[in-house]
Amino acid sequence: GAGVSQTPSNKVTEKGKYVELRCDPISGHTALYWYRQSLGQGPEFLIYFQGTGAADDSGLPNDRFFAVRPEGSVSTLKIQRTERGDSAVYLCASSFSRDHEQFFGPGTRLTVL
């Protein structure tokens, strides 16, 4: 596609449930990033993939969060046992490679009731 896409655009779930958020990067981009944005704040880094491997997962808040990119293209962010504090907009970005401009998707708004 022409840009980064994310699905779903909105996700409402109940506390304790499991959710998966999907990111389709720009074709040919080897680097992929996940960020989380809470209301009124700037995005915060979660995890960075170079190809299929997680090159830096230092931003993941705890072990309930996990992300994969098995074929080096699409990535899935997985959140187990969701908590109300996980409510935020989850943003995905991609870049041609490590030192290149990042392009962001529209985000997935997650609401945990």
Partner 1 sequence: GIQVEQSPPDLILQEGANSTLRCNFSDSVNNLQWFHQNPWGQLINLFYIPSGTKQNGRLSATTVATERYSLLYISSSQTTDSGVYFCAVGLDNYGQNFVFGPGTRLSVLP
Q: Which residues bind partner 1 (CB under 8 A)?
A: 31, 33, 35, 37, 41-45, 48, 50, 55-56, 58-59, 89, 91, 95, 98-104, 106-107, 109
**Preceding amide of 8 cis, omega within 30:** yes
Report in angstroms how near the CB of residue 21 gets to partner 1 at its nearest: 15
Distance of closest approach, residue 53 Cβ to partner 1, in angstroms: 12
CB nearer to partner 1: pick between 76 and 102: 102
Rounded Cα gap, residues 12 and 75, in angstroms = 20
Report which DSSP code applies to 86: G
For partner 1, the closer of residues 81 and 98 by Cβ is: 98
What is the C-alpha R_g of the chain? 13
108 and 6 in contact (C-beta within 8 Å)? yes
Min. distance of Cβ 66 from partner 1 in angstroms? 17
For residue 72, give the amino acid letter: G
